[in-house]
Chain A
């Protein structure tokens, strides 16, 4: 130990160069600021999460007591409740319930402007915000919401938004026109993906009595798979050769078209 201290005492005083010292000091200050920001943010997020969970639970319970029960719904009371309930709780209620209770809450929520922020967020340019807004709007039913969502399905800034918007549009109980659907298919690129299958399946499931409409849209790009739409597609393939040409471009199999040819 004595030798060690003797060596230390023998050392000349350290002279730190100014530039690197400033860099280290600046780095430490930045680090401290980030650490503090992260911690404060996390504490606030935890508190907010706890409060919002409690508020959402309470909100869903309140809405349920307003809507479900004997006798007619007290619309004034429901409107008041909607104004005081967080949007997340209203959406949660809509998820949990179907039929008349859901319909009455949706109608009143539209009047109370619950979906207006989501509508405003469409086209804001931030992908995550737009997707989140579309998810909220799947419960809306009013024409202005439908047209806004359809607009996004056709002119959304990214393919992801366009796909989400079309899913939302169909989930709203609407059906896009054949032209819109065909335009959307054209817009998603040259390759048919399982995503297209999912979309057509969704349309077919929701509109079982109107498959000819779907078939017309499908015919546009000679799309086929083992779904119920195939039979209808057969009927609508009046001109098989152009369809085959389109399918060749898409690298999609067109068994029905081949059989007709």
Chain B
């Protein structure tokens, strides 16, 4: 033992030990939950039937009974990509598909491009219930595609635009997809299977989100899977694997799924309408929606199922700058806390089943207690070393153990990834991912914890501004490597990035 200062007084030491014990309990609970989730995911992966790889098979089975799906694509200032995105959605393989584009008061040429590309003409459509809060300027059908419908409305947030799309939809099922994401062509055919094979209790189906940075995208579909060589997207790829192939699979299997990502989800329309669609004022609107849908179902004593199919793949672009990650993670954290406090009645409430007894406490552990304890742990380590309470060898070993544990978790999800029925990375990309699984423990994880803590602070200060996350655009293989170029790219992207929607 080595102390730089005088030892702590007994009262201080007792406080220190209590805090350390608290931190250890939280760490054990969090890691225990992660291990259980991973074990369940591995079990499910081994036990469950391998989904068909063949789109032909899926089509043949689905064709006779395919419920109509309305794909909602909200768009705001997307003149650069709107035509390609909509073409990509129109070319999805599905027997009965309708695409509803909602122009959310874009200030650029988005609407003009839609007019020119798809030959729009004014068309009326009756709606049974308006979920949106802003005025609709006009509605249009297309001369070239009879399954395309465009709603032009005043600016609101993405949630409002999506609600407008739901209001004008005619499908039994609603597919919510980000306009800047790409879904595998047979994704809808896969996603609809639980609705066809299950009974009427299925209310929503989610799929996995994958990082598209480093992939080659042509004509709106991913033709070559890659990771690129930049650390930030590599780290995020691993994070997404852990979330979508580990945690979500286990949560769905245990009927504890709280989140279907806003980038891709399929919902029953009647359930969405009944619940009033997305909440306009939420920073985590996707999380909030699914929690609310399930809460309503529990309160009405209605059996319900939320399915999750990891084989459905939606490709999205990850932020490639520190600023982008900071804004994204801060917002996610705020959103999580908003949802937690809004639905806190569900916490340890047996009326809400496993959702209340397990999923919500886990949300509290992860989003509320987790970031604070993590920071507290680092502070206690420093204090312990300074006052000579903590053996430095033990501190180093403890840190290394957490690193090995984290890397093993990543390795386990990469084993699950091996069995997925879709193109996987080549050996070289896998090698980079394996290196990233080790490297991320030294700096990146701590940074993410700091951003999450920042989210907690923003939540407490009630900051609700939606900070933009700079994007390069799908299919752009690598961001600029040098810091100067990167800053320049950020500035140019921010110049065309959507404005932060008005805070409510």
Q: Is the CB of A193 within 8 A of B401?
A: no
Provide the residues of chain A in CB contact with B425, threshold 8 Å: 42
Q: Is the CB of B47 within 8 A of A127?
A: yes
> Looking at the complex, which one of A12, A38, A131 makes contact with B414 (CB distance below 8 Å)?
A38
Give complex CA distance A24, B402 in Å. 9
Q: By CB atoms of chain A within 10 A, which of B49, B200, B426 has the most?
A: B49
- When each residue 16-59 of chain B gets 1 if its CB lies under 8 Å from chain A and 0 otherwise, what string results? 00000000000000000000000000000001111010101100
Q: Is the CB of B415 within 8 A of A15?
A: no
- When each residue 83-108 of chain A gets 1 if its CB lies under 8 Å from chain B and 0 otherwise, what string results? 00000000000010000000000000
Q: Is the CB of A11 within 8 A of B392?
A: yes
Give complex CA distance A39, B426 in Å. 9
Q: Which residue of A lies closest to B193 (CB)?
A: A195
Provide the residues of chain B in CB contact with A10, threshold 8 Å: 2
Give complex CA distance A17, B438 in Å. 23
List residues of A (88-143) whose CB comes within 8 Å of B's CBs.
Answer: 95, 127-128, 131-132, 135
B394 within 8 A of A: yes
> Looking at the complex, which one of B196, B393, B398, B418 makes contact with A38 (CB distance below 8 Å)?
B418
Q: Is the CB of A201 within 8 A of B404?
A: no
Q: Is the CB of B61 within 8 A of A167?
A: yes
Q: Is the CB of A193 within 8 A of B430?
A: no
Give complex CA distance A30, B415 in Å. 14
B9 within 8 A of A: no
Q: Is the CB of A20 within 8 A of B401?
A: yes
What is the interface of chain A mostly: helix, strand, loop, or mixed? helix
Provide the residues of chain A in CB contact with B393, threshold 8 Å: 14-17
Give complex CA distance A198, B196 in Å. 9
Provide the residues of chain B in CB contact with A194, threshold 8 Å: 65, 67, 195-197
B495 within 8 A of A: no
Q: Is the CB of B392 within 8 A of A38?
A: no
Give complex CA distance A141, B22 in Å. 67
B199 within 8 A of A: yes
Q: Is the CB of B407 within 8 A of A31?
A: yes
Give complex CA distance A94, B54 in Å. 15
List residues of A (35-51) whose CB comes within 8 Å of B's CBs.
Answer: 35, 38-39, 41-43, 46
B369 within 8 A of A: no
Provide the residues of chain A in CB contact with B62, threshold 8 Å: 198
Give complex CA distance A33, B466 in Å. 44
Provide the residues of chain B in CB contact with A228, threshold 8 Å: none
Q: Is the CB of B404 within 8 A of A28?
A: yes
Q: Is the CB of A160 within 8 A of B65?
A: no
List residues of B (204-251) whose CB comes within 8 Å of A's CBs.
Answer: none
Q: Is the CB of A198 within 8 A of B64?
A: yes
Q: Is the CB of B426 within 8 A of A46?
A: yes
Q: Which residue of A lies closest to B431 (CB)?
A: A39
Provide the residues of chain B in CB contact with A198, threshold 8 Å: 61-62, 64-65, 196
Provide the residues of chain A in CB contact with B489, threshold 8 Å: none
Q: Is the CB of A38 within 8 A of B56?
A: no
Q: Is the CB of B397 within 8 A of A193?
A: no
Q: By CB atoms of chain B within 10 A, which of A31, A95, A163 has the most?
A: A31
Provide the residues of chain A in CB contact with B56, threshold 8 Å: 95
A53 within 8 A of B: no
Give complex CA distance A34, B425 in Å. 17
B113 within 8 A of A: no
A191 within 8 A of B: yes
List residues of B (411-465) whose CB comes within 8 Å of A's CBs.
Answer: 411-412, 414-415, 418, 424-427, 430-431, 434, 438
Q: Is the CB of B411 within 8 A of A20?
A: no
Q: Is the CB of A17 within 8 A of B397?
A: yes
Nearest chain A CB to B439 CB, angstrom units: 13
Provide the residues of chain B in CB contact with A132, threshold 8 Å: 50
B198 within 8 A of A: yes
Q: How many residues of B are counted as interface, with CB atoms below 8 angstroms from the partner's CB atoms?
A: 46
Q: How many residues of A are counted as interface, with CB atoms below 8 angstroms from the partner's CB atoms?
A: 41
Known: A34-B408, A135-B57, A201-B64. A195 touches B197 (CB 8 A): yes
Known: A38-B414, A38-B430. A17 touches B65 (CB 8 A): no
Provide the residues of chain B in CB contact with A11, threshold 8 Å: 2, 392
B396 within 8 A of A: yes
Q: Which residue of A lies closest to B399 (CB)?
A: A24
List residues of B (68-114) whose CB comes within 8 Å of A's CBs.
Answer: none
B383 within 8 A of A: no
Q: Is the CB of B426 within 8 A of A42?
A: yes
Provide the residues of chain A in CB contact with B341, threshold 8 Å: none
- When each residue 178-212 of chain A gets 1 if its CB lies under 8 Å from chain B and 0 otherwise, what string results? 00000000000001011101100110010000000
Give complex CA distance A198, B49 in Å. 20
Q: Which residue of B lies closest to A15 (CB)?
A: B393
Provide the residues of chain B in CB contact with A95, threshold 8 Å: 56
Q: Is the CB of B427 within 8 A of A43?
A: yes
B405 within 8 A of A: yes
Nearest chain A CB to B44 CB, angstrom units: 12
> Looking at the complex, which one of A20, A21, A43, A195 makes contact with B196 (CB distance below 8 Å)?
A195
Q: Which residue of A lies closest to B396 (CB)?
A: A14
Q: Which residue of A lies closest to B195 (CB)?
A: A194
Known: A39-B427, A197-B65. A20 touches B394 (CB 8 A): yes
Give complex CA distance A14, B392 in Å. 7
Give complex CA distance A165, B316 in Å. 37
Known: A12-B2, A95-B56, A128-B49. A17 touches B414 (CB 8 A): no
Provide the residues of chain B in CB contact with A28, threshold 8 Å: 404
A54 within 8 A of B: no
Provide the residues of chain B in CB contact with A191, threshold 8 Å: 199-200
A3 within 8 A of B: no
Give complex CA distance A42, B1 in Å. 47
A253 within 8 A of B: no
Provide the residues of chain A in CB contact with B322, threshold 8 Å: none
Give complex CA distance A78, B67 in Å. 44
Provide the residues of chain A in CB contact with B405, threshold 8 Å: 27
Q: Which residue of B lies closest to A7 (CB)?
A: B4
A23 within 8 A of B: yes
Provide the residues of chain A in CB contact with B1, threshold 8 Å: 12
B400 within 8 A of A: yes
Nearest chain A CB to B263 CB, angstrom units: 26
Q: Is the CB of B408 within 8 A of A30?
A: yes
Known: A39-B430, A194-B195. A24 touches B64 (CB 8 A): no
Using CB atoms and an 8 Å cutoff, list the residues of chain B in contact with chain A: 1-2, 47-50, 52, 54, 56-57, 61-62, 64-65, 67, 195-200, 392-394, 396-398, 400-401, 404-405, 407-408, 411-412, 414-415, 418, 424-427, 430-431, 434, 438
12 sample A-B contacts, Cβ–Cβ < 8 Å, listed by A number = A12-B1, A15-B393, A17-B394, A23-B401, A24-B397, A31-B407, A38-B430, A42-B427, A128-B49, A193-B196, A198-B62, A198-B64
With A11-B392, A17-B397, A131-B49 already in contact, 9 other A-B pairs whose C-beta atoms are closer than 8 Å: A16-B397, A31-B407, A31-B408, A39-B427, A42-B424, A42-B427, A46-B427, A195-B65, A198-B64
